[in-house]
Amino acid sequence: MKDPMMRSPRPEMKWARLFLPLGLQPVQVVNALSAIATLYGAPRIVLETAGVAGEVQWRLAAPAPALRALQAQLPTYLPGVQLVSDQPARAPGLQHAAKLAIQGNAARAINLSRSEATSRAVLNVLAQTGTKEQLVQQVILGERLRPTAPVVPAKSPAGAAERRRLLAEKTAVHGFGCTVRIGVTAASTPRARQLIGSLLSALRGAESPKVAMRLKAERTSAMEALRSPWRWPLQLSVRELAGVIGWPIGDPPIAGLPAPHPRPMPAPKAVAKAGLVLGDSAAPGPPRVLALSVEDSLRHSLVVGPTGTGKSTLIGSMALQFMAAGHGVVVIDPKRSLVEDLLWRIPKQRRHDVVLLDATDSAPIGINPLVGKNPELAADALVHLIHELYADNWGPRTQDILHASLLSLARRGDASLLHVPLLLTNAGFRRSVTARLVRNDPMGLGSFWAWYESISDAERQSVIAPVMNKLRSVLLRPGLRAILGQVEPRFDMSDVFTKQRILLVSLSKGQLGPDGAKLLGSLVVNLLWQAAMHRTPGAETRPVMMLIDEVQDYLRIPGDLGDALATARGYGVAFTLATQHLGQLPPHLRSAALANARSKVMFQLSHEDAVVMARGSDLTPEDFTALGQFRAYASLLSHGSPTGWASLQTRPLPAPSGTPERIRERSRRRYGQPLSEVEASWADLAGQGAPRTEPLGRVRTEDNR
């Protein structure tokens, strides 16, 4: 039974912006229209495709219950589609209008084989609208036409076979009694007629034998009011409508439509809207925050993006939010610029918690990896770190000498890394360190130092040369000497966890050298990890966020890295690992990061990385490579479960509000020591008159590496 005619839009029609994915196939559009045709209650539906100043837009109007039903159903047939309610309809003020008519029998079938060509032609015309122009095609879907078998006369005139085939295809599926209107706003009547005529020409691409399209006059008020006609002038099946409504059928590019990449991905409902805010949805629709809960942040994050994409801005924003929440924060910055930005923006109530580790400071804070509760573990960790840094130039003799030296100094308890050269070259200082060790540990360190003392000066100089060469990056840089030479640093790394300190580590490869920057950053991370493992796991453990940029240079935790990341959550440590591209990560770090950093934010990627990240998702590598500045795809955890990729627009850092020099001075005054004091302490410990039996210079050797 056909629905009764409706002259006025009752019930009230609600508008929604329709955001369609590009590259639709005709069958997808047919299925979506079939879903509309079979909606409960057969509500009246309005579909509009508009060209506004050269931009193509799609809109839909329906009664509120039908709109909600379509919001739920259409994504089944059009993956990625969005119907966003409460968006304004087209701009008012249509100046001219017309309606489509089919000459002869309105029930005749139009050409179904040209859906894609007709749709492209319609969109091309809409894209030709200029500034302050709009061209709107409105399709009102009214009474429903159920599938039927066509009635074909027993004797048909010659040449009617094609018409019979088209009629059979038309009536075999659902259809509508409908009207198609065209409205225009333009600077002049001739221009308005040109636009309307061009759109009619595009629609005529769907004409078939005995079917001719033409236009009739229409009132603009009828179009703007969505008024239904007394009698539906057209009867079109869902297959016929697929090419007429102007949806983007066929592979892009299509004139007037945005580039197909990057594909906008709406945020899944499960993504948190509060907590650690990463940014806002970059997909069409109402404003939507993308965030992580603190609990989910403890399952770690991986951020990938080359310089200039917005990676550092995101890291800074995450750090500032954790600071504002009163948590401990660590930022490892290889370029200094991020630390400088943060110093301008530290929350006022947290400025007294800032500890700045900067080798260029006149009185930097110090770290001493040899001071700890367990000398053996301290020495092992430091040997492991130096081995990681110089793995390509490492031999058993280097391992033996460095380990014995560090363990001896760690057991002494009042020495630093800078005392290793002194231990190896100054006989008087060496005897003060080793005499007790020889007595108390004759089978271990005692035997090593007995061997060391037994060899000639020339042999000794040869075997220590590889160790000395590796320490030279520290010895030759005053800033590093000032940090690593402090025997009793005034800052305890455990304060990050127990007192919620904010540790900002400023590393500059240009000033520290690549090896020096890697050594210092890696030492900081290792000492923090050792402090974290002394925490008692439990629900009351306050979270600490460690944000490490260029993570491949600084994350060298002893043992299995994957296990360390997996257990870090129990210690309340949230790692945010950042790198420019995945190829920079060594294989063990890459596999650990991809497996254990459960939330991922990908800025513009190289093709190789894009292939990896697109695997198993609805995105393509081209989507990742086409991202613009401050745009990313984010796959975030929600209650421990991944939610899938969403388009992310990161937020800029807040406006500067502090005075960096005051923060620097406070940190310097509380924790810093000038180089002069450090070297004076070193000289006192060494004994100024102790003779030096071997030089500190480089001795080239290949056999004893």
pLDDT at position 172 is 87
pLDDT at position 6 is 43
CA–CA gap between residue 113 and residue 121 (Å, rounded)? 14
Phi, psi at residue 291, to the nearest 5°? -145, 170
Report the CATH fold assignment for 13-150+165-244: Vanillyl-alcohol Oxidase; Chain A, domain 3 (3.40.462)
Grouping H, G, I as helix, E, B as strand and the rest as coil, residue 648 is strand
Contact predicate 365/490, CB 8 Å: yes
Q: In the structure encoding, which two tokens stand for residue 696, read together?
A: 């500190």
Q: How far is CA 643 from CA 167, 273, 385, 596, 633, in A?
A: 46, 13, 36, 16, 12
Residue ranges of the chain assigned to CATH 3.40.462 = 13-150+165-244
Residue ranges of the chain assigned to CATH 3.40.50.300 = 276-338+347-355+500-656
- State yes or no: cis peptide before 233, omega within 30 of 0: no
Residues near 683 by Cβ (< 8 Å), separated by ≥ 6? none
CA angle 425, 431, 432 (to 5 degrees): 110
Q: In the structure encoding, which two tokens stand for residue 10, read together?
A: 């009752």
- Nearest one of 185, 180, 182 to 52, comparing CA atoms: 185
pLDDT at position 159 is 53
Q: In the structure encoding, which two tokens stand for residue 344, read together?
A: 């301008």
pLDDT at position 194 is 97
pLDDT at position 260 is 85
pLDDT digits 0-9 by tens, 648-700: 999 999 999 988 999 999 999 999 999 999 888 887 776 643 444 443 333 34
> Mean pLDDT in runs of 10 for the chain (705 residues)?
47 91 94 97 96 94 96 93 74 87 77 91 95 96 89 57 72 94 96 97 90 94 93 94 95 82 92 97 91 97 96 98 98 95 97 96 94 89 92 92 96 92 93 88 92 95 94 86 94 96 92 90 94 79 95 89 92 97 95 96 98 94 97 97 97 94 96 91 65 39 43
CA–CA gap between residue 428 and residue 406 (Å, rounded)? 17
| DSSP conformation class of 205 | G
Residues near 472 by Cβ (< 8 Å), separated by ≥ 6? 698
Q: In the structure encoding, which two tokens stand for residue 462, read together?
A: 């040869």
Grouping H, G, I as helix, E, B as strand and the rest as coil, residue 163 is helix
Grouping H, G, I as helix, E, B as strand and the rest as coil, residue 566 is helix
| CATH number belonging to domain 276-338+347-355+500-656 | 3.40.50.300
pLDDT digits 0-9 by tens, 491-543: 999 999 999 999 999 998 878 888 899 999 999 999 999 999 988 776 568 99
pLDDT at position 688 is 42
Label residues 112-136 b or e (16+ Cβ within 10 Å = b).
bebbbbbbbbbbbbbbbbeeebbbb
Q: In the structure encoding, which two tokens stand for residue 145, read together?
A: 């036409």
Q: Do you know the residue count of the chain?
A: 705
